[in-house]
Amino acid sequence: MDGNVQSTEIATPELDHSTLLQFPKIELHRHLEGTFELQTLFTMSIRNGIDLPTDFPSFKKEVQFPKDSEPDFLKFLSKFRNNWYRSHEDVWNIAYESMRAFADDGIHYIEVRFSPEHFAIHNNFDRLDITNIVVEAGKKAAEDTGTQIRYLLTFNRSRQTQEEMRELYDKVMSLQLSEIIGIDLAGDELNYPPELFVDFFKAVKSDGYCGTTIHAGEVTPAKQVWDALNVLNADRIGHGTSAIEDTNLQRYLADNGIALEQCITSNRQTGSWTDEANHPLGRLYKAGVPVTINSDDPTIQDSDLTDDYVKAVRYFDLDIEDLIKLNHIAIDATFLPETEKETLRNDYDAAVTRFRAAQNL
Ligand SMILES: [Zn+2]
Protein backbone atom coordinates (compact mmCIF):
# COMPACT_ATOMS: atom_id res chain seq x y z
CA MET A 1 0.00 0.00 0.00
CA ASP A 2 1.89 2.98 -1.23
CA GLY A 3 -0.97 5.46 -1.40
CA ASN A 4 0.79 8.60 -0.46
CA VAL A 5 -1.40 11.65 -0.99
CA GLN A 6 0.91 14.25 -2.39
CA SER A 7 0.61 17.59 -4.15
CA THR A 8 -0.79 20.96 -3.09
CA GLU A 9 -0.37 22.48 0.34
CA ILE A 10 -2.28 21.25 3.37
CA ALA A 11 -4.17 23.31 5.94
CA THR A 12 -2.03 22.17 8.88
CA PRO A 13 1.43 21.63 7.41
CA GLU A 14 2.76 19.31 10.08
CA LEU A 15 -0.07 16.80 9.64
CA ASP A 16 1.28 15.27 6.45
CA HIS A 17 1.24 11.63 5.40
CA SER A 18 4.44 10.60 7.14
CA THR A 19 3.36 12.18 10.45
CA LEU A 20 -0.19 10.85 10.23
CA LEU A 21 1.06 7.33 9.48
CA GLN A 22 2.22 7.30 13.11
CA PHE A 23 -1.01 8.76 14.49
CA PRO A 24 -2.92 6.07 16.47
CA LYS A 25 -6.15 5.24 14.67
CA ILE A 26 -9.38 3.44 15.45
CA GLU A 27 -10.93 1.95 12.34
CA LEU A 28 -14.49 0.64 12.09
CA HIS A 29 -15.00 0.04 8.36
CA ARG A 30 -12.51 -2.04 6.40
CA HIS A 31 -13.14 -5.24 4.42
CA LEU A 32 -10.45 -7.91 4.77
CA GLU A 33 -11.17 -8.91 1.15
CA GLY A 34 -10.23 -5.38 0.05
CA THR A 35 -7.08 -4.98 2.12
CA PHE A 36 -4.82 -7.82 1.01
CA GLU A 37 -1.09 -7.41 1.40
CA LEU A 38 -0.13 -7.09 -2.25
CA GLN A 39 3.18 -8.96 -2.31
CA THR A 40 1.63 -11.98 -0.56
CA LEU A 41 -1.24 -11.90 -3.03
CA PHE A 42 1.19 -11.74 -5.96
CA THR A 43 3.17 -14.75 -4.71
CA MET A 44 -0.05 -16.71 -4.19
CA SER A 45 -1.33 -15.75 -7.63
CA ILE A 46 1.78 -17.17 -9.30
CA ARG A 47 1.86 -20.30 -7.12
CA ASN A 48 -1.79 -21.07 -7.83
CA GLY A 49 -1.61 -20.32 -11.55
CA ILE A 50 -4.18 -17.53 -11.40
CA ASP A 51 -4.81 -15.94 -14.79
CA LEU A 52 -3.04 -12.66 -13.97
CA PRO A 53 0.28 -11.04 -14.98
CA THR A 54 3.41 -12.63 -13.52
CA ASP A 55 5.41 -9.40 -13.27
CA PHE A 56 4.60 -7.31 -10.22
CA PRO A 57 3.92 -3.89 -11.81
CA SER A 58 1.44 -5.37 -14.33
CA PHE A 59 -0.15 -7.51 -11.61
CA LYS A 60 -0.56 -4.48 -9.37
CA LYS A 61 -2.20 -2.53 -12.18
CA GLU A 62 -4.61 -5.37 -12.87
CA VAL A 63 -5.77 -5.97 -9.30
CA GLN A 64 -6.07 -2.34 -8.17
CA PHE A 65 -8.40 0.47 -9.14
CA PRO A 66 -5.94 3.07 -10.44
CA LYS A 67 -5.73 5.85 -7.87
CA ASP A 68 -6.56 8.69 -10.22
CA SER A 69 -8.90 6.96 -12.62
CA GLU A 70 -12.46 8.15 -13.22
CA PRO A 71 -15.11 6.92 -10.76
CA ASP A 72 -16.66 3.65 -11.90
CA PHE A 73 -18.66 1.47 -9.52
CA LEU A 74 -18.69 -1.67 -11.68
CA LYS A 75 -14.99 -1.42 -12.48
CA PHE A 76 -14.34 -1.05 -8.74
CA LEU A 77 -16.40 -4.17 -7.94
CA SER A 78 -14.70 -6.13 -10.72
CA LYS A 79 -11.44 -5.93 -8.74
CA PHE A 80 -12.78 -8.28 -6.04
CA ARG A 81 -11.91 -11.90 -6.87
CA ASN A 82 -12.52 -14.98 -4.79
CA ASN A 83 -10.58 -17.60 -6.73
CA TRP A 84 -7.14 -16.91 -5.20
CA TYR A 85 -7.06 -19.76 -2.71
CA ARG A 86 -6.29 -23.45 -3.10
CA SER A 87 -5.71 -24.45 0.52
CA HIS A 88 -6.39 -23.47 4.11
CA GLU A 89 -2.77 -22.37 4.27
CA ASP A 90 -3.41 -19.83 1.49
CA VAL A 91 -6.25 -18.34 3.53
CA TRP A 92 -4.16 -18.26 6.69
CA ASN A 93 -1.21 -16.60 4.93
CA ILE A 94 -3.15 -13.86 3.20
CA ALA A 95 -5.23 -13.16 6.32
CA TYR A 96 -2.15 -13.04 8.56
CA GLU A 97 0.02 -10.87 6.27
CA SER A 98 -2.86 -8.48 5.57
CA MET A 99 -3.70 -8.00 9.24
CA ARG A 100 -0.03 -7.72 10.19
CA ALA A 101 0.15 -4.72 7.82
CA PHE A 102 -2.52 -2.83 9.83
CA ALA A 103 0.23 -1.63 12.15
CA ASP A 104 2.05 0.05 9.23
CA ASP A 105 -1.02 2.30 8.85
CA GLY A 106 -0.91 3.33 12.52
CA ILE A 107 -3.97 1.27 13.45
CA HIS A 108 -4.40 0.95 17.20
CA TYR A 109 -7.73 -0.90 17.19
CA ILE A 110 -9.77 -2.21 14.27
CA GLU A 111 -13.08 -3.93 13.68
CA VAL A 112 -12.23 -5.63 10.40
CA ARG A 113 -15.06 -7.26 8.54
CA PHE A 114 -14.87 -10.43 6.47
CA SER A 115 -17.13 -12.79 4.62
CA PRO A 116 -16.50 -16.50 5.29
CA GLU A 117 -18.28 -17.08 1.95
CA HIS A 118 -15.63 -15.13 0.07
CA PHE A 119 -12.77 -17.33 1.27
CA ALA A 120 -14.73 -20.60 1.08
CA ILE A 121 -16.84 -20.50 -2.05
CA HIS A 122 -14.34 -21.30 -4.82
CA ASN A 123 -13.15 -24.52 -3.12
CA ASN A 124 -16.28 -25.10 -1.07
CA PHE A 125 -14.22 -24.99 2.12
CA ASP A 126 -16.08 -25.41 5.38
CA ARG A 127 -17.21 -21.91 6.45
CA LEU A 128 -16.46 -22.63 10.09
CA ASP A 129 -12.91 -23.77 9.28
CA ILE A 130 -12.44 -20.52 7.37
CA THR A 131 -13.81 -18.46 10.26
CA ASN A 132 -11.44 -20.15 12.70
CA ILE A 133 -8.47 -19.67 10.35
CA VAL A 134 -9.11 -15.94 9.88
CA VAL A 135 -9.55 -15.34 13.61
CA GLU A 136 -6.44 -17.38 14.47
CA ALA A 137 -4.38 -15.54 11.83
CA GLY A 138 -5.58 -12.23 13.27
CA LYS A 139 -4.69 -13.34 16.79
CA LYS A 140 -1.13 -14.01 15.67
CA ALA A 141 -0.97 -10.69 13.75
CA ALA A 142 -2.23 -8.87 16.86
CA GLU A 143 0.39 -10.57 19.06
CA ASP A 144 3.16 -9.74 16.60
CA THR A 145 2.26 -6.07 16.10
CA GLY A 146 0.22 -4.85 19.08
CA THR A 147 -2.78 -3.85 16.92
CA GLN A 148 -6.02 -4.84 18.64
CA ILE A 149 -8.28 -6.71 16.22
CA ARG A 150 -11.97 -7.63 16.41
CA TYR A 151 -14.22 -8.95 13.64
CA LEU A 152 -17.54 -8.27 12.00
CA LEU A 153 -19.13 -10.94 9.80
CA THR A 154 -20.16 -9.55 6.44
CA PHE A 155 -23.30 -10.82 4.77
CA ASN A 156 -24.05 -9.97 1.15
CA ARG A 157 -27.51 -8.73 0.21
CA SER A 158 -27.56 -10.14 -3.31
CA ARG A 159 -25.70 -13.40 -2.74
CA GLN A 160 -27.28 -14.70 0.47
CA THR A 161 -30.94 -14.93 1.42
CA GLN A 162 -31.78 -14.02 4.99
CA GLU A 163 -32.41 -17.72 5.71
CA GLU A 164 -28.87 -18.53 4.53
CA MET A 165 -27.52 -15.64 6.58
CA ARG A 166 -29.29 -16.96 9.66
CA GLU A 167 -27.95 -20.47 9.16
CA LEU A 168 -24.34 -19.31 8.80
CA TYR A 169 -24.69 -16.83 11.66
CA ASP A 170 -26.03 -19.56 14.00
CA LYS A 171 -23.14 -21.88 13.10
CA VAL A 172 -20.49 -19.20 13.57
CA MET A 173 -21.99 -18.12 16.89
CA SER A 174 -21.81 -21.73 18.07
CA LEU A 175 -18.00 -21.41 17.84
CA GLN A 176 -18.23 -18.85 20.67
CA LEU A 177 -15.36 -16.74 19.36
CA SER A 178 -15.32 -13.68 21.58
CA GLU A 179 -13.41 -11.72 18.91
CA ILE A 180 -16.46 -11.70 16.60
CA ILE A 181 -18.54 -8.81 17.88
CA GLY A 182 -20.63 -7.58 14.98
CA ILE A 183 -22.63 -8.21 11.82
CA ASP A 184 -22.40 -6.19 8.60
CA LEU A 185 -24.83 -6.07 5.68
CA ALA A 186 -23.06 -5.21 2.42
CA GLY A 187 -23.60 -5.45 -1.33
CA ASP A 188 -26.18 -4.09 -3.74
CA GLU A 189 -28.17 -1.62 -1.63
CA LEU A 190 -30.13 -0.33 -4.64
CA ASN A 191 -31.87 -3.59 -5.43
CA TYR A 192 -31.85 -5.28 -2.01
CA PRO A 193 -33.33 -2.83 0.53
CA PRO A 194 -33.34 -3.32 4.33
CA GLU A 195 -36.93 -4.70 4.38
CA LEU A 196 -35.67 -7.99 2.91
CA PHE A 197 -33.58 -8.76 5.98
CA VAL A 198 -35.89 -7.91 8.87
CA ASP A 199 -36.18 -11.40 10.38
CA PHE A 200 -32.44 -12.03 10.33
CA PHE A 201 -31.59 -8.75 12.04
CA LYS A 202 -34.39 -9.24 14.56
CA ALA A 203 -32.80 -12.58 15.48
CA VAL A 204 -29.32 -11.05 15.78
CA LYS A 205 -30.68 -8.27 17.98
CA SER A 206 -32.56 -10.61 20.27
CA ASP A 207 -29.44 -12.78 20.72
CA GLY A 208 -27.60 -9.69 21.92
CA TYR A 209 -24.08 -10.94 21.06
CA CYS A 210 -23.37 -8.75 18.05
CA GLY A 211 -23.59 -5.09 17.15
CA THR A 212 -25.01 -4.37 13.71
CA THR A 213 -23.87 -2.09 10.93
CA ILE A 214 -25.62 -1.66 7.60
CA HIS A 215 -24.15 -0.27 4.38
CA ALA A 216 -26.76 2.37 3.56
CA GLY A 217 -26.97 5.76 1.91
CA GLU A 218 -23.80 5.05 -0.07
CA VAL A 219 -25.55 5.09 -3.43
CA THR A 220 -29.13 5.44 -2.14
CA PRO A 221 -31.01 8.46 -0.71
CA ALA A 222 -31.26 9.26 3.01
CA LYS A 223 -34.48 7.21 3.20
CA GLN A 224 -32.42 4.04 3.11
CA VAL A 225 -30.46 5.19 6.15
CA TRP A 226 -33.79 5.77 7.94
CA ASP A 227 -34.89 2.26 6.90
CA ALA A 228 -31.64 0.72 8.17
CA LEU A 229 -32.33 2.44 11.51
CA ASN A 230 -36.08 1.92 11.78
CA VAL A 231 -36.48 -1.43 10.05
CA LEU A 232 -33.24 -3.18 10.98
CA ASN A 233 -32.34 -1.32 14.18
CA ALA A 234 -28.80 -0.65 12.96
CA ASP A 235 -26.25 0.38 15.61
CA ARG A 236 -24.00 2.01 13.00
CA ILE A 237 -24.25 2.96 9.33
CA GLY A 238 -21.68 2.14 6.65
CA HIS A 239 -21.05 5.29 4.58
CA GLY A 240 -24.36 7.16 5.03
CA THR A 241 -23.09 9.89 2.69
CA SER A 242 -26.68 10.83 1.77
CA ALA A 243 -27.30 11.88 5.40
CA ILE A 244 -26.01 15.24 4.20
CA GLU A 245 -29.38 15.74 2.44
CA ASP A 246 -31.52 15.34 5.58
CA THR A 247 -31.10 17.54 8.65
CA ASN A 248 -33.74 15.54 10.59
CA LEU A 249 -31.66 12.43 10.06
CA GLN A 250 -28.53 14.27 11.17
CA ARG A 251 -30.27 15.31 14.38
CA TYR A 252 -31.49 11.74 14.98
CA LEU A 253 -27.97 10.33 14.49
CA ALA A 254 -26.50 12.93 16.83
CA ASP A 255 -29.20 12.51 19.51
CA ASN A 256 -28.87 8.72 19.47
CA GLY A 257 -25.10 8.50 19.12
CA ILE A 258 -25.32 6.47 15.91
CA ALA A 259 -22.05 6.73 14.03
CA LEU A 260 -21.51 6.94 10.30
CA GLU A 261 -18.50 4.97 9.04
CA GLN A 262 -17.35 7.28 6.25
CA CYS A 263 -14.82 6.52 3.52
CA ILE A 264 -13.69 9.48 1.39
CA THR A 265 -11.37 7.69 -1.07
CA SER A 266 -13.70 4.77 -1.64
CA ASN A 267 -16.65 7.10 -2.25
CA ARG A 268 -14.79 8.90 -5.03
CA GLN A 269 -13.70 5.71 -6.78
CA THR A 270 -17.14 4.09 -6.69
CA GLY A 271 -18.83 7.34 -7.70
CA SER A 272 -20.81 7.55 -4.44
CA TRP A 273 -19.37 11.04 -3.81
CA THR A 274 -16.90 12.26 -6.41
CA ASP A 275 -15.95 15.70 -5.03
CA GLU A 276 -13.59 14.72 -2.22
CA ALA A 277 -12.97 18.29 -1.09
CA ASN A 278 -16.70 18.69 -0.52
CA HIS A 279 -17.30 15.24 1.01
CA PRO A 280 -20.08 15.25 3.66
CA LEU A 281 -17.69 14.10 6.41
CA GLY A 282 -16.44 17.60 7.17
CA ARG A 283 -19.88 19.22 7.29
CA LEU A 284 -21.47 16.37 9.25
CA TYR A 285 -18.66 16.49 11.81
CA LYS A 286 -19.10 20.22 12.25
CA ALA A 287 -22.89 19.70 12.60
CA GLY A 288 -22.27 17.36 15.55
CA VAL A 289 -23.09 14.07 13.77
CA PRO A 290 -20.91 11.19 15.02
CA VAL A 291 -18.69 10.48 12.00
CA THR A 292 -15.58 8.33 11.72
CA ILE A 293 -12.75 8.12 9.16
CA ASN A 294 -12.29 4.75 7.44
CA SER A 295 -10.54 3.20 4.46
CA ASP A 296 -13.05 0.56 3.20
CA ASP A 297 -10.87 -1.34 0.66
CA PRO A 298 -7.39 0.21 0.68
CA THR A 299 -5.60 -2.40 -1.48
CA ILE A 300 -8.20 -2.19 -4.24
CA GLN A 301 -8.10 1.62 -3.91
CA ASP A 302 -4.27 1.79 -4.03
CA SER A 303 -4.45 3.87 -0.86
CA ASP A 304 -4.19 3.52 2.91
CA LEU A 305 -6.21 4.77 5.87
CA THR A 306 -3.65 7.50 6.41
CA ASP A 307 -4.58 8.92 2.98
CA ASP A 308 -8.12 9.44 4.22
CA TYR A 309 -6.75 11.26 7.28
CA VAL A 310 -4.59 13.49 5.09
CA LYS A 311 -7.63 14.34 2.98
CA ALA A 312 -9.79 15.08 6.04
CA VAL A 313 -7.11 17.42 7.42
CA ARG A 314 -6.62 19.16 4.11
CA TYR A 315 -10.20 19.51 2.95
CA PHE A 316 -12.00 20.11 6.25
CA ASP A 317 -9.32 22.11 8.00
CA LEU A 318 -9.03 19.65 10.90
CA ASP A 319 -6.32 19.86 13.53
CA ILE A 320 -4.86 17.29 15.89
CA GLU A 321 -7.61 17.86 18.48
CA ASP A 322 -10.25 17.16 15.82
CA LEU A 323 -8.52 13.92 14.86
CA ILE A 324 -8.40 12.80 18.49
CA LYS A 325 -12.08 13.69 18.88
CA LEU A 326 -12.99 11.70 15.76
CA ASN A 327 -11.19 8.69 17.21
CA HIS A 328 -13.00 9.08 20.53
CA ILE A 329 -16.25 9.05 18.54
CA ALA A 330 -15.05 5.82 16.93
CA ILE A 331 -14.23 4.27 20.32
CA ASP A 332 -17.72 5.13 21.59
CA ALA A 333 -19.15 3.46 18.47
CA THR A 334 -17.16 0.20 18.74
CA PHE A 335 -19.12 -2.94 19.48
CA LEU A 336 -16.99 -3.69 22.53
CA PRO A 337 -18.63 -4.21 25.94
CA GLU A 338 -18.60 -1.01 28.02
CA THR A 339 -15.73 -2.10 30.31
CA GLU A 340 -13.51 -2.96 27.33
CA LYS A 341 -14.41 0.37 25.72
CA GLU A 342 -13.15 2.13 28.83
CA THR A 343 -9.89 0.18 28.71
CA LEU A 344 -9.50 1.01 25.01
CA ARG A 345 -10.16 4.71 25.71
CA ASN A 346 -7.37 4.83 28.31
CA ASP A 347 -5.02 2.81 26.21
CA TYR A 348 -5.72 4.95 23.14
CA ASP A 349 -5.16 8.19 25.07
CA ALA A 350 -1.80 6.88 26.26
CA ALA A 351 -0.83 6.07 22.64
CA VAL A 352 -1.84 9.60 21.57
CA THR A 353 0.26 11.09 24.38
CA ARG A 354 3.29 9.10 23.16
CA PHE A 355 2.60 10.19 19.56
CA ARG A 356 2.36 13.89 20.51
CA ALA A 357 5.55 13.75 22.54
CA ALA A 358 7.44 12.04 19.71
CA GLN A 359 6.13 14.44 17.05
CA ASN A 360 6.25 17.55 19.20
CA LEU A 361 2.58 18.24 18.48
ZN1 LIG B 1 -17.80 -1.23 2.84
| Pair 251, 20: CB distance under 8 Å | no
Q: Rounded to the nearest whole angstrom, what is the distance from the C-alpha of residue 325 to the centroid of ligand 1?
A: 23
Closest to 19 in 3D by CA, of 86, 99, 106, 91: 106
Q: Rounded to the nearest whole angstrom, what is the distance from the C-alpha of residue 31 to the centroid of ligand 1?
A: 6
| Pair 44, 56: CB distance under 8 Å | no
**3-state SS track over 262-316:** ECHHHHHHHCCCCCHHHCHHHHHHHCCCCEEECCECHHHHCCCHHHHHHHHHHHH
Coil vs helix vs strand at 329? helix
* Residue 247, CA atoms < 13 Å, CB-side half-sphere: 2
Residue 209: DSSP 8-state: S
Q: Rounded to the nearest whole angstrom, what is the distance from the C-alpha of residue 361 to the centroid of ligand 1?
A: 32
Which residues are identified as catalytic?
A: 218
One digit per residue, pLDDT tens: the chain, 361 residues? Answer: 444 555 555 444 589 999 999 999 999 999 999 999 999 999 999 999 999 999 999 999 999 998 888 998 888 888 999 999 999 999 999 999 999 999 999 999 999 999 999 999 999 999 999 999 999 999 999 999 999 999 999 999 999 999 999 999 999 999 999 999 999 999 999 999 999 999 999 999 999 999 999 999 999 999 999 999 999 999 999 999 999 999 999 999 999 999 999 999 999 999 999 999 999 999 999 999 999 999 999 999 999 999 999 999 999 999 999 999 999 999 999 999 999 999 999 999 999 999 999 999 9
Domains, the chain, with CATH or none = 17-359 (3.20.20.140)
Q: What is the pTM of this model?
A: 0.95
Alpha-carbon span 163 to 229, nearest angstrom: 21
Coil vs helix vs strand at 259? strand
Cα dihedral 282/286/289/290 (nearest 10):
70
Q: Rounded to the nearest whole angstrom, what is the distance from the C-alpha of residue 269 to the centroid of ligand 1?
A: 13
Bridge partners of 155, per DSSP, are: 185
What residue type is assigned to position 185 of the chain? L
Sheet holding 180-186, edge to edge: 25-31, 107-114, 148-156, 180-186, 211-216, 236-239, 259-262, 291-293
